[in-house]
Homo-oligomer: A and B are copies of this chain.
Amino acid sequence: MRKVDPVKHEQKRRDILDAAFRCFIKDGFHGASTTDICAAAKISPGHLYHYFSSKEAIVEAMVDMGLESAAREFGKISAAPDFIEALIDYLEHGSLRHRTAQVLSLDALAEAARNPQFAGIVEKHASVSRNLLVDFIGTAQRQGQIDPDLDPAATANILLAVIDGARAMPIRTPTLDIEQSLAHLRTLLSRFLKPPREMSAHIRRVTRRTNAPLNASRKK
């Protein structure tokens, strides 16, 4: 009796997923057909459905894989010595310059807004990224690199939003000056994250209570 070889099987799945990845980048989740994927993977439809039960299953596995590798990439930020510079680096290569693969992130977002199954996947990976950020923000706060009055989870969400927003920049503005954009993003992040240097903790606390940019959410 022959048994399925899990290594070969997994490898084949990965090959198909790679081909699907290329197709989806080019034409989107709905635009790319199973025929396209079969052609890219150089297999027959029968073969494709031997490995995946449906096109949706392919999309899900691919998004899962894609987000996983994105999260892995993302984890490197936490390991870097300068948090903000690492973020800027991530924005430069992950969002502003390397446009192609990032389109899928937008597709996944749009799909997640409609398809609950998808929403679960996107949510799961956002949660992983957020947790990584929260940990590091906490550490950086204790080290005095980040304003200790910022809520780590809320700040992490803001940073994720900035990353998403940066992805849209070259699409909205194809003539974007990347260097200048990076410089301003650096300013944005520095000013947001760094503790107000020139004031003592006491003065800071009083000033904040007056201008109340942070307390608004805590007033309840």
Contacts and interface: CB of A to CB of B under 8 A. Distances in A.
Interface of A: 26-28, 30-31, 99, 103, 106-107, 109-114, 119, 122-123, 126-127, 130, 150-151, 154-155, 157-158, 160-169, 171-174, 176-177, 179-188, 190-192, 198-199, 211, 213-218, 220
Contacts of A188: 158, 188, 192
Given A106-B106, A162-B161, A177-B217, A28 B114 contact: yes
Nearest to A114: B28
Assembly stoichiometry (copies) = 2
Q: Which of A109, A171, A179, A199 has the most CB of B within 10 A?
A: A171
A130 B214 CA distance: 28
B216 A183 contact: yes
A126 B173 CA distance: 7
Q: Which of A27, A174, A176 has the most CB of B within 10 A?
A: A174
Contacts of A26: 114
A169 B167 CA distance: 14
A157 B181 CA distance: 8
B103 A184 contact: no
Given A110-B107, A154-B184, A165-B161, A179 B217 contact: yes
Contacts of A214: 183-184, 187
Nearest to A161: B165
Contacts of A185: 158
Contacts of A164: 164-165, 167-168, 172
Contacts of A217: 177, 179-180, 182-184
Contacts of A192: 187-188, 191-192
